[in-house]
Amino acid sequence: MRAALATAGGRLLQAVLAGGGDGYAGPHAKCPQGHQAGYAGARDKTITTVLGPVTLSRAWYRCGACGHGFAPRDEQLGVAGQTQSPGLAEMIALAGAEASFARAAVLIAGLASITVSPRTIERSAEAAGAAAGAANAAEAAAIRERRIVPMSPPGPLPDMLYVEVDGTGVPVRASETAGRSGKGEDGKARTREVKLARLFTVSGLDAGGRPVMDPGSSTYVFSFDGKDTLAGLVKAEYLRRGGNHFRQVVAVGDGAAWIWAMAEDLYPHASHIVDIYHAREHLHDLATHLAFITHDPAAWLAGRSAELDAGNIQAIIDAASCYPLAGVKAAELDTKLGYFRNNAHRMRYADYRRLGMFTGSGAIEGGIKAVICQRAKQAGMHWTAEGAADIIALRCQQASGRWDELWPARAAQPSRLRAAI
Ligand SMILES: [Zn+2]
């Protein structure tokens, strides 16, 4: 039944499109370079749509000056230079963002009875992702330069806005890491780092007094181009979300220095919190370092863990500093304590709990898994950095609830025929 409807729909669409004319614009039309191009008769073009192939007859113009040939009708319908309709391109982007290109081809064939090669899916989905990335970068620049001023968020405003940041390595082809040092056995990089930021709001606490993330409140930005590029995107997203209007902004991270430098710069009034699980790892490390000299290492760690939970970082530093160490051992201890000294004001965990704040960075870790790992870090995957960025752009767009903005046929007021295909 569905196949019959698709076939009938394809015929209907072809007739509807034919009824809209062939785009004839008189004996002359302007070529993209601004020359006068001459009418060169009607030409057919077949595009693949979600209803199968549809053939268009369009007026064709040929430019004598630059040799360029074009059909004004293709521009009107959004298929210039394309063999797919915008509707099919969206379907491909959706599948290609979700699964490997080979798997996406299977899904589209199985669910929509449309045959598209994995290679076509890769090209089309990556082109959609590149367009998304470019649009987001342009929007971010416009917000930073105040050419776009986001409206204040509609009330009632959630109580807190969280900004969490983390990074992970995406496996890339050898050619993508030439000249970069890394963790591979031969000292060469096998991955490129992508940094991801997740912004979300919290309006209240659960019955146990723990904060609850507002459903659907998460938006994401990412970059393969290092912390400064990410900071620019985070700043724009923070402004777009109306960050300055929230009573409380909270920044959570793993303790990496760049995260705090960015936070001090973008939202200095925020509460800055070092993820408590990372802090506990550092505490374990500290206890191991001192195990040779502490009377009862397990009890020592338990005591310090309680102090960490209470946010009493000075007690940890004091307890670790009372042993007569010298030389390398003392120098190493100093380095390890530096983590606690530098971050003590970001480790007031008892206060954070009392104020109803998250003390862990579970939200960004979940985001890294869902947005990046589940698609980009599967067994056997080797990306180009560009290809990975394109697909992650699509996934961010979707995870941020901004998918529809990618498709002008729906977001803006398009011609009705353009929206139809
Ligand atoms: Zn020309």
If you average pLDDT over residues 62-81, what whole number do you get? 91
- Whether 182 shows a pLDDT value over 70: the answer reads no
CA of 35 to the centre of ligand 1 (A): 4
Tokens encoding 305: 């863990």
Instruction: Compute, in degrees rounded to 10, the torsion defined by CA atoms 178, 179, 181, 185.
Output: 50
CA of 29 to the centre of ligand 1 (A): 10
CA of 36 to the centre of ligand 1 (A): 7
Give residue 255's pLDDT.
80
CA of 229 to the centre of ligand 1 (A): 38
pLDDT digits (tens, 9 = 90+) for 6-32: 999 999 999 999 988 899 999 999 998
If you average pLDDT over residues 168-188, what whole number do you get? 73
φ, ψ at 31 (rounded to 5°): -80, 165
Say if CB 285 and CB 392 are below 8 A apart. no
Q: Is 162 helix (H, G, I), strand (E, B) or coil?
A: strand
Q: What is the DSSP string of 253-270?
A: E-S-HHHHHHHHHH-TTS
If you average pLDDT over residues 191-213, what whole number do you get? 94
Q: Please, which pLDDT band fits residue 3 given cuts at 50, 70 and 90?
A: confident
CA of 248 to the centre of ligand 1 (A): 57
Give residue 175's pLDDT.
81
Question: How far is Cα 117 from Cα 339, in angstroms, rounded to an integer?
Answer: 51
CA of 417 to the centre of ligand 1 (A): 27
Tokens encoding 164: 């969490």
Cα 176 versus chain centre, distance: 20
CA of 46 to the centre of ligand 1 (A): 24
CA of 117 to the centre of ligand 1 (A): 34
Q: Tokens 């059909």 identify what position?
A: 71
CA-wise closest residue to 256 among 360, 344, 363, 167:
167
- The overall average pLDDT reported for the chain is 91
Give residue 417's pLDDT.
64
CA of 41 to the centre of ligand 1 (A): 17
CA of 39 to the centre of ligand 1 (A): 13
CA of 142 to the centre of ligand 1 (A): 33
CA of 30 to the centre of ligand 1 (A): 8
CA of 392 to the centre of ligand 1 (A): 37
pLDDT digits (tens, 9 = 90+) for 368-420: 999 999 999 988 888 999 999 999 999 999 999 999 988 865 544 556 666 66
CA-wise closest residue to 72 among 122, 38, 22:
22
Question: How far is Cα 396 from Cα 371, in angstroms, rounded to an integer?
Answer: 7
Question: How far is Cα 271 from Cα 16, in angstroms, rounded to an integer?
Answer: 58
Q: Please, which pLDDT band fits residue 183 given cuts at 50, 70 and 90?
A: low
Give residue 216's pLDDT.
95
Give me the percent of the chain exceeding a pLDDT of 70: 94
CA of 70 to the centre of ligand 1 (A): 10
> What CATH topology corresponds to 160-275+360-383?
Nucleotidyltransferase; domain 5 (3.30.420)
Tokens encoding 77: 């319908």
CA of 69 to the centre of ligand 1 (A): 8
Give residue 190's pLDDT.
85
Q: What share of the chain is helix, strand, coil (3-state, %, to 5)?
A: 50, 20, 30
- Whether 159 shows a pLDDT value over 80: the answer reads yes
CA of 79 to the centre of ligand 1 (A): 20
CA of 280 to the centre of ligand 1 (A): 66
CA of 389 to the centre of ligand 1 (A): 34
CA of 44 to the centre of ligand 1 (A): 21
Give residue 256's pLDDT.
86
Cα 384 versus chain centre, distance: 17
If you average pLDDT over residues 287-313, what whole number do you get? 94
CA of 62 to the centre of ligand 1 (A): 8
Give residue 380's pLDDT.
84
CA of 63 to the centre of ligand 1 (A): 5
CA of 75 to the centre of ligand 1 (A): 16
- Whether 187 shows a pLDDT value over 70: the answer reads no
CA of 66 to the centre of ligand 1 (A): 4
Q: Is 329 helix (H, G, I), strand (E, B) or coil?
A: helix
CA of 126 to the centre of ligand 1 (A): 29
pLDDT digits (tens, 9 = 90+) for 261-299: 999 999 989 999 999 999 999 999 999 999 999 989 999
Domain ranges of the chain: 2-83, 160-275+360-383, 278-346
CA of 34 to the centre of ligand 1 (A): 6
CA of 218 to the centre of ligand 1 (A): 47
CA of 132 to the centre of ligand 1 (A): 29
CA of 40 to the centre of ligand 1 (A): 14
pLDDT digits (tens, 9 = 90+) for 225-243: 999 999 999 999 999 999 9
- Which residues does residue 171 pair with via DSSP β-bridges, in sequence order? 191
Tokens encoding 378: 């599967």
